């Protein structure tokens, strides 16, 4: 098992009783209809059920144990069985055990074929995880509308912040050459409910909008359509100048507006269900409406108006940090976008990274969530491992996503969670969505590390249902990807659930952030102090000096806390009430500060956390070793090799950071903790000119 099959392995069910029970339900199946999507359902069922049950075959509705039907094809069942499906919408489904023509049947019903496809994958998941299907009766519909991957893939196949090989899009061979991988990508996405993909990097190449590339984009859109997946493109705001021969890209210029309108018409001519545009504007050197003295809203609306007649949307990113007021970086997205609330057209979403800085191992949530009642905010999570050790560190991101989604913003009082903002419940947003920066590449195992497949998986599951627990998802994923053996499930799940906190501890405990290597973000480098902008440097973020450590974002400092709703703003303003996980994010505190949870001094607590993080990784590796023989050998060894690297690098992180901060604290490493084997100078001398994934 090299990992290519992801969580869709469909190996024979190893429990004979369970397999026998499933055979009665599903060995003979019937899928109503003849659309491209029903063909996908038939192919998947044929492949999956033959695998899981040993044998299975398609038959007619009269003799089938399993019936899948949608839309008009489902009318007869809905009526005779008195089953209501209106509430399932366009993508939901139900799975139910019924009696039909005097025989027990399992039915998967939906209003659309794509809904039936999602239901089919859910049913297969129940079987792969060996759930009891007797009297099953469940209904599911997605809570967010746009569930999209963002590929930071360049047209030359380099993936920015990608650690799993090259881009899976072979632009050179498109449109004619259609790899099986494209189809398997679509299957995997559909299996977790992902219904959109932005094919190219947010640092966009304008060529993507030329007719030569649009032909290639169309080929992918045609492949993905039966799987319910829409294609979107990242666009460069200055495209009218760069490829259109215009003198300006000013959004209020009539010629510019006409250029985008024509471009949208051209795209929809080829791809009638094209999803829309993702835009990084006036951020990190990218062009934008600000270059012409216009606002983000004016820029976004111009594109939105070009797409609106065709039903497309604009996902406009809030990742900006170069405003004229020269505010502290964490405050800028809010300052820029809050005043624009209500100024965006109906088909615009503002896409916000979960935290106010940039995909750190841990950040408090961006204060924008909850602050824009009239502007749909869409979540942007990172699935790829930019600041998390790349693809040799195993960090299951489920608990991190869950922590963010469950955070109460208090925007409309208690219970105003981030999840309720982005799923539209809080403000009744007309469109909702969640984006994840993909971790996918050409590596055989897709994500560079088998365990990191779980992050693609959990992203999809949480986009569908932002309230699902990360532990539930971990359980499913382990059973589908590794084994249903109880020992494997329990132990790997524990590893997964501990992995994120462990990495936070060995990299950036207690709210520290942005102390990774310069540019590539690989490895510890809290000493970085020479980059072009102050807020690209590590020393700017940790502010360590002889007195203490941490970034004062309280009212005595840059007052970023003022952007949050009460009571968060008061809580975060005071170190005593700030959750310890964000302590040094919001406060600069003396080395002797007493950390309440442990009673240790701040210095001692920081050091202990670094050691604890590295120890947890060691325990994770031991746990993994104990599973040898219980997991497929090649899967086992791949993960074991990566765990060895992660163990070494966790110690590297720990030693480098502890020694570096010790210079300021001038305090000994607490009793009982082994001394770092190398000097600070040694760690500082390491360099990684060819570290992967850079822009």
Show which residues are catalytic: 284, 358, 386
Q: Out of 151, 161, 362, 513, which residue is the one contacting ligand BDP (CB under 6 A)?
A: 161
CA dihedral 126, 131, 133, 135 (to 10 degrees): -120
Q: Tell the smallest beta-carbon distance from residue 439 to ligand BDP (Å).
A: 13
Closest CB to ligand BDP among 25 and 161?
161
**Which 369-388 residues touch ligand BDP, going by CB under 6 A?**
386
Long-range CB contact pairs, 169-175, < 8 A, 24+:
169/199, 169/220, 171/213, 171/216, 174/215, 174/216, 174/219, 174/220, 175/215, 175/216, 175/218, 175/219
Closest CB to ligand BDP among 161 and 225?
161
Is residue 236 at the binding interface for ligand BDP, with CB under 6 A as the rule? no
> What are the angstrom distances between the C-alpha of 207 and each of 242, 274, 309?
9, 17, 24
Closest CB to ligand BDP among 1 and 284?
284
User: Are the beta carbons of 351 and 318 closer than 8 angstroms?
Assistant: yes
Q: Tell the smallest beta-carbon distance from residue 160 to ligand BDP (Å).
A: 5
Dihedral of CA 479/484/490/491: which sign?
Answer: negative
Q: Out of 93, 337, 344, 359, which residue is the one contacting ligand BDP (CB under 6 A)?
A: 359
Q: How far is CA 23 from the centre of its chain?
A: 36
Say how many residues touch ligand BDP, by CB under 6 A. 11
Q: How far apart are CA 606 and CA 583, in angstroms?
A: 11
**Which 470-499 residues touch ligand BDP, going by CB under 6 A?**
none
Closest CB to ligand BDP among 319 and 457?
319
Q: Tell the smallest beta-carbon distance from residue 279 to ligand BDP (Å).
A: 11
Q: How far apart are CA 447 and CA 462, in angstroms?
A: 19
Is residue 250 at the binding interface for ligand BDP, with CB under 6 A as the rule? no
Residue 334, token pair as written in the block: 């809010």
Site string for ligand BDP, 317-356 (x = CB under 6 A): --x-------------------------------------
Q: How far apart are CA 617 and CA 654, in angstroms?
A: 12
Name the 3-class secondary structure at 205. coil
Closest CB to ligand BDP among 319 and 652?
319
DSSP state for residue 232 in the 8-state scheme: E
Closest CB to ligand BDP among 264 and 400?
400
Closest CB to ligand BDP among 125 and 521?
521
Is residue 358 at the binding interface for ligand BDP, with CB under 6 A as the rule? yes
Q: How far apart are CA 611 and CA 594, in angstroms?
A: 19
Which residues make Cβ contacts (< 8 Å) with residue 366, sequence separation at least 6? 318, 333, 334, 352, 353, 354, 355, 356
Q: Which residues pair with 317 in a beta bridge?
A: 351
Closest CB to ligand BDP among 360 and 445?
360
Q: Tell the smallest beta-carbon distance from residue 281 to ligand BDP (Å).
A: 10
Q: Tell the smallest beta-carbon distance from residue 388 to ligand BDP (Å).
A: 11
Q: Out of 160, 402, 423, 476, which residue is the one contacting ligand BDP (CB under 6 A)?
A: 160
3-state secondary structure 579-631: CHHHHHHHCCEECCCEECCCCEEHHHHHHHHHHHHHHHHHHHHHHHHCCCCCC
Q: Tell the smallest beta-carbon distance from residue 296 to ligand BDP (Å).
A: 15
Closest CB to ligand BDP among 140 and 384?
384
Return the H-helix or E-strand segment holding 637. helix 633-665
Q: Tell the smallest beta-carbon distance from residue 163 to ligand BDP (Å).
A: 13
Where do we find the tokens 């050459």? 177
Q: Tell the smallest beta-carbon distance from residue 544 to ligand BDP (Å).
A: 23
Where do we find the tokens 């799987």? 227
Site string for ligand BDP, 103-142 (x = CB under 6 A): ----------------------------------------
Q: Return the closest-CA partner of residue 521 out of 538, 502, 535, 506.
A: 538
Is residue 280 at the binding interface for ligand BDP, with CB under 6 A as the rule? yes
Q: Tell the smallest beta-carbon distance from residue 143 to ligand BDP (Å).
A: 25
User: Are the beta carbons of 549 and 589 closer than 8 angstroms?
Assistant: yes
**Which 285-314 residues touch ligand BDP, going by CB under 6 A?**
none
Which residues make Cβ contacts (< 8 Å) with residue 688, sequence separation at least 6? 517, 520, 522, 523
Q: How far apart are CA 668 and CA 8, in angstroms?
A: 51
User: Are the beta carbons of 83 and 96 closer than 8 angstroms?
Assistant: yes
Site string for ligand BDP, 173-192 (x = CB under 6 A): --------------------
**Which 197-216 residues touch ligand BDP, going by CB under 6 A?**
202-203
DSSP string, 398-428: HHHHHHHHH-B--BTBTT-BHHHHHTSTTTT
Which residues make Cβ contacts (< 8 Å) with residue 433, sequence separation at least 6? 144, 145, 146, 147, 148, 315, 349, 351, 376, 378, 379, 422, 463
Closest CB to ligand BDP among 91 and 160?
160
Closest CB to ligand BDP among 205 and 358?
358
**Which 382-421 residues touch ligand BDP, going by CB under 6 A?**
386
> What are the angstrom distances between the C-alpha of 32 and each of 46, 62, 92, 362?
14, 12, 17, 47
Q: Tell the smallest beta-carbon distance from residue 319 to ligand BDP (Å).
A: 5
Closest CB to ligand BDP among 336 and 358?
358
Q: Return the closest-CA partner of residue 516 out of 524, 506, 507, 508.
A: 524
Is residue 533 at the binding interface for ligand BDP, with CB under 6 A as the rule? no
Q: Tell the smallest beta-carbon distance from residue 534 to ligand BDP (Å).
A: 17
> What are the angstrom distances between the C-alpha of 677 and each of 615, 643, 673, 690?
16, 20, 12, 26
Q: Tell the smallest beta-carbon distance from residue 380 to ligand BDP (Å).
A: 8
CA dihedral 394, 398, 401, 402 (to 10 degrees): -140
Return the H-helix or E-strand segment holding 38. helix 36-53
Q: Which residues bind ligand BDP (CB under 6 A)?
A: 160-161, 202-203, 280, 284, 319, 358-359, 386, 695
């Amino acid at each position: 098992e090299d990992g290519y099959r992801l969580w869709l392995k469909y190996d024979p069910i190893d429990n004979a009783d369970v397999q026998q029970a499933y055979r009665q339900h599903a060995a003979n199946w019937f899928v109503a209809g003849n659309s491209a999507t029903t063909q996908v359902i038939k192919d998947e069922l044929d492949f999956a059920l033959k695998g899981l049950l040993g044998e299975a075959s398609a038959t007619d509705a009269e003799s089938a144990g399993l019936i899948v039907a949608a839309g008009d094809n489902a009318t007869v069942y809905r009526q005779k069985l008195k089953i209501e499906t209106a509430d399932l919408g366009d993508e939901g489904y139900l799975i139910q055990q019924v009696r039909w023509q005097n025989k027990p049947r399992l039915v998967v019903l939906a209003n659309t074929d794509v809904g039936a496809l999602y239901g089919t994958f859910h049913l297969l998941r129940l079987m792969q995880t060996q759930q009891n299907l007797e009297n099953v009766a469940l209904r599911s519909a997605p809570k967010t509308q746009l569930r999209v991957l963002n590929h930071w893939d360049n047209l030359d196949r380099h993936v920015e912040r990608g650690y799993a090989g090259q881009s899976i899009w072979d632009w050179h061979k498109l449109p004619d050459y259609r790899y099986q991988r494209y189809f398997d990508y679509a299957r995997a996405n559909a299996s977790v409910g992902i219904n959109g993909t932005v094919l190219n990097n947010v640092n966009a190449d304008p060529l993507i909008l030329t007719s030569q590339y649009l032909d290639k984009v169309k080929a992918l859109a045609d492949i993905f359509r039966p799987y319910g997946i829409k294609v979107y493109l990242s666009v460069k705001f200055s495209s009218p100048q760069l490829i259109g021969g215009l003198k300006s890209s000013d959004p209020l210029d009539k010629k510019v507006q006409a250029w985008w309108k024509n471009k949208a018409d051209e795209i929809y001519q080829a791809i009638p269900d094209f999803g829309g545009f993702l835009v990084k504007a006036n951020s990190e050197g990218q062009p934008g409406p600000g270059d012409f003295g216009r606002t983000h809203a004016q820029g976004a609306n111009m594109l939105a108006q070009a797409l609106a007649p065709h039903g497309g949307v604009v996902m406009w990113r809030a990742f900006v940090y170069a405003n004229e007021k020269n505010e502290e970086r964490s405050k800028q997205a809010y300052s820029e976008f809050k005043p624009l609330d209500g100024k965006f057209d109906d088909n615009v979403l503002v896409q916000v990274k979960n935290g106010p800085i940039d995909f750190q191992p841990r950040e408090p949530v961006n204060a924008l969530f909850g602050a824009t009642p009239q502007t749909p905010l869409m979540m942007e999570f990172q699935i790829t491992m930019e600041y998390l050790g790349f693809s040799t560190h195993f960090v299951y991101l489920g608990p991190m996503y869950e922590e963010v989604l469950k955070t109460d913003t208090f925007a409309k009082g208690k219970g105003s969670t981030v999840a309720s903002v982005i799923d539209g419940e809080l403000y009744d947003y007309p469109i909702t969505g969640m984006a994840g920066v993909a971790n996918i590449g050409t590596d055989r195992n897709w994500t560079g590390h088998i365990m990191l497949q779980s992050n693609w998986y959990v992203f999809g599951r949480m986009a569908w249902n932002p309230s699902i627990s990360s532990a539930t998802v971990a359980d499913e994923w382990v059973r589908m990807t590794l084994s249903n053996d109880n020992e494997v499930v329990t132990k790997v799940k524990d590893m997964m659930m501990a992995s994120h906190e462990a990495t936070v501890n060995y990299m950036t405990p207690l709210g520290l952030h942005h102390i990774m290597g310069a540019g590539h973000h690989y490895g510890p480098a809290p000493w970085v102090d020479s980059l072009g902008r102050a807020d690209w440097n590590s020393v700017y973020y940790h502010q360590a000096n002889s007195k203490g450590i941490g970034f004062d974002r309280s009212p005595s400092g840059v007052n970023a806390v003022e952007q949050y709703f009460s009571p968060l703003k008061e809580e975060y303003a005071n170190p005593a009430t700030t959750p310890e996980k964000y302590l040094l994010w919001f406060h600069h505190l003396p080395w002797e500060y007493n950390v309440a949870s442990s009673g240790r001094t701040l210095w001692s607590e920081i050091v202990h956390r670094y050691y604890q993080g590295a120890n947890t990784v060691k325990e994770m590796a031991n746990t993994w070793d104990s599973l040898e023989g219980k997991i497929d050998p090649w899967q086992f060894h791949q993960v074991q090799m990566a765990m060895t690297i992660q163990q070494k690098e966790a110690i590297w992180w720990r030693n480098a950071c502890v020694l570096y901060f010790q210079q300021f604290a001038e305090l000994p490493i607490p009793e009982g903790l082994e001394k770092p084997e190398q000097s600070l100078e040694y760690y500082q001398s390491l360099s990684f000119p060819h570290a992967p994934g850079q822009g």
